[in-house]
Amino acid sequence: MTEDTLPVQSGKQIADAPEAWEVTSTALPFEGKKTGVRTDDVVMPDGSVVRRDYQVHPGSVAVLALDDEDRVLVLSQYRHPVREKLWEIPAGLLDVPGENPLHAARRELYEEAHVKAEDWRVLADVYTTPGGSDEAVRIFLAREIGAADGERYEVSEEEADMELARVPVADLVRGVLAGELHNNCLVVGVLALTAARSGPGLESLRPADAPWPARPFEN
């Protein structure tokens, strides 16, 4: 079927929907410290069975922290798979199954930037690479930010080389569109923030405890 022959449903509301095709066999040939690789034999609509390999991932949270001067808190961190230092927003894994993502986001903001926030909302929920991983990320918008209480978290490994900065939103948007910034959560977060502002407004964003079917949690 070519693009010209694809059916078009004008005015249809577009929303992703849960669906699970039959799996005839499954295996976990590799399991690392935090993630693994699963191999599934999946029944296709035409009855054929194909093998799909994908990363299994606990899920992540990311925080777009916006200060009162309309600057976003970003950090530069080395990412070995792509051999680059990327500018990112604070982010981290959901270390405990069923962990409340807001609790995890508060923790990551404290650990990576020694910052706290009073106003939290959900900016976007995304699958990072759904063709090859089940990783789901919830991106929060954090406002009314200030220095965290207590001692700074002791960082190690790649985090020991992090550089922190506060960058105006407009500069980040320009960097994304110019192909200078590539981190998934930063790109999605900054563009979602811009879209919300130009549309229904930030007060229309979902509350911080909004349901997240991709990673159900307890309040």
Ordered mean pLDDT values, 10 residues apiece, the chain (219 residues): 61 90 96 93 97 96 98 96 97 90 96 96 97 97 93 64 94 98 98 97 97 91
Rounded-to-integer distance, Cα 93 and Cα 112, Å = 13
Decide the pairing of beta strands 60-65 and 136-147: parallel
Is residue 64 assigned to a domain? yes
Residue 10 main-chain phi, psi, to 5 deg? -65, 135
Q: Which of 137, 100, 106 is nearest to 120 (CA)?
A: 106
Residue 110 and residue 149 in one domain: yes
52: three-class secondary structure by DSSP: strand
Rounded-to-integer distance, Cα 95 and Cα 164, Å = 24
Is 154 annotated as catalytic? Answer: no
Residue 119 and residue 30 in one domain: no
Range of the domain at 121: 60-204
Residue 157 is predicted with a pLDDT of 58
Rounded-to-integer distance, Cα 36 and Cα 54, Å = 8
Q: Which of 161, 162, 163, 192 is nearest to 176 (CA)?
A: 192
Options 108, 159, 180, 203, the catalytic residue = 159
Residue 106 and residue 196 in one domain: yes
Residue 161 is predicted with a pLDDT of 78
User: What Å distances lie between residue 30 and 23, 37, 38, 39, 74, CA to CA?
Assistant: 19, 5, 7, 10, 33
The residue out of 56, 79, 100 marking a domain boundary is 56
Burial (0-12, 13-18, 19+ Cβ within 10 Å), 34: exposed
Rounded-to-integer distance, Cα 165 and Cα 175, Å = 15
Q: Under a CB-based contact definition with an 8 Å cutoff, are residues 129 and 81 in contact?
A: no
Residue 43 and residue 139 in one domain: no
Kindly state the tokens that stand for 176.
Answer: 């994304």
Residue 31 and residue 86 in one domain: no
Is residue 6 assigned to a domain? no
Residue 218 is predicted with a pLDDT of 82
Is residue 8 assigned to a domain? no
Residue 105 and residue 171 in one domain: yes
Rounded-to-integer distance, Cα 148 and Cα 162, Å = 18
Residue 94 is predicted with a pLDDT of 94
Is residue 217 assigned to a domain? no
**What domain count does the chain have?**
2
